[in-house]
Copies of this chain bind each other. A is one copy, B any other.
């Protein structure tokens, strides 16, 4: 399940709780589009803002709605104690894989993080995906650490935060990491704007934020890249330039995609947990214009 398009849906919510109907509709759209896997409760799915009970409930909902499409959920938490409990909860409702970010408040050392993966990987019975995204976890993996973690039992994939945008540098990056990890561990790209470059450079999977709302175009890019048609993948990604520009303008994909989900009627505003908010005013109009111009839906 760690190849192809892994689509990361939002978890629409407000101060009263999760909008379960909206979440289920988002998942159903991914199933209908035939994504390769679903990455629920990722950063995009606001796992960090939900209680243990809420996370268990959302995991149950996605497994039910996924109709057999393999589901991964994040078990990230500041404390290893809580990670282990979340892993139990997730496995109990039938998820097929666990995404594990080294979430930090006090700065973590490379050894702290290795020990955490060592303990968790020894205590789970489904595969693990390593989550590397300093933008949210504030932890920087060395490649040496990736190599050590990838040797642990149950580790099957690494979600990397991006690649250089020059294709030959992207390839060097992927080759360098690949040399350090066992062949049964895949590499998946995140950072949607870099996905085509990443897959063209040898990444096996795309862990995608935009794919959680716009699975059809994300699947077209994934299929082109992974079937060897690098030019078509690049062309399709290039056609989304106005979307990538919005991601840059608003500090990442998360709020843009959440705003788009509201605009498209999947959910209502507010759909993010305060203090987070979707984009209002002129920015919202820009997003609506890009959705329309690109015929995203």
Chain A interface, number of residues (Cβ within 8 angstroms): 33
B136 & A106 in contact (Cβ 8 Å cutoff) = yes
Cβ proximity bits A274-290 to B, threshold 8 Å, 1 near / 0 not: 11110000000000000
Inter-chain contacts of A80 with B (CB < 8 A)? 15, 273-275
Option from B119, B136, B255 in Cβ contact (under 8 Å) with A105? B136
Q: A211 on the interface (CB 8 Å rule)?
A: no
B105 & A43 in contact (Cβ 8 Å cutoff) = yes
Inter-chain contacts of A177 with B (CB < 8 A)? none
B15 & A106 in contact (Cβ 8 Å cutoff) = no
Option from B116, B138, B275 in Cβ contact (under 8 Å) with A275? B116
Option from B109, B112, B276 in Cβ contact (under 8 Å) with A112? B276
Q: How far is the CA of A273 from the CA of B119 in the complex (A)?
A: 14
Cβ proximity bits A95-123 to B, threshold 8 Å, 1 near / 0 not: 00000001101111100110110010000
Q: How far is the CA of A83 from the CA of B285 in the complex (A)?
A: 32
Cβ proximity bits A70-114 to B, threshold 8 Å, 1 near / 0 not: 000000001111000000000000000000001101111100110
Q: How far is the CA of A113 from the CA of B112 in the complex (A)?
A: 30
B251 & A81 in contact (Cβ 8 Å cutoff) = no
Smallest beta-carbon distance A290→chain B, Å = 20
Inter-chain contacts of A49 with B (CB < 8 A)? 78-79, 105
B78 & A107 in contact (Cβ 8 Å cutoff) = no
Q: A68 on the interface (CB 8 Å rule)?
A: no
Smallest beta-carbon distance A85→chain B, Å = 11
A252 & B108 in contact (Cβ 8 Å cutoff) = no
B275 & A115 in contact (Cβ 8 Å cutoff) = yes
Inter-chain contacts of A113 with B (CB < 8 A)? 275
Q: A244 on the interface (CB 8 Å rule)?
A: no
* A residues 156-214 touching B (CB-CB < 8 Å): none
A112 & B81 in contact (Cβ 8 Å cutoff) = no
Name A residues whose Cβ lies closer than 8 Å to a Cβ of B: 15, 43, 46, 48-49, 78-81, 102-103, 105-109, 112-113, 115-116, 119, 135-136, 138, 251-252, 254-255, 273-277
Given A48-B105, A49-B78, A106-B255: 18 more A-B contacts, CB < 8 Å:
A15-B80, A15-B81, A46-B106, A48-B106, A49-B105, A78-B273, A80-B273, A80-B274, A81-B273, A81-B274, A103-B105, A106-B136, A106-B254, A107-B135, A112-B276, A115-B275, A116-B274, A116-B275
> Can you list 17 pairs linking A and B with CB atoms under 8 Å apart?
A15-B80, A15-B81, A43-B106, A48-B78, A48-B106, A49-B78, A79-B273, A80-B275, A103-B105, A105-B136, A106-B136, A106-B252, A107-B251, A108-B276, A112-B275, A112-B276, A138-B138
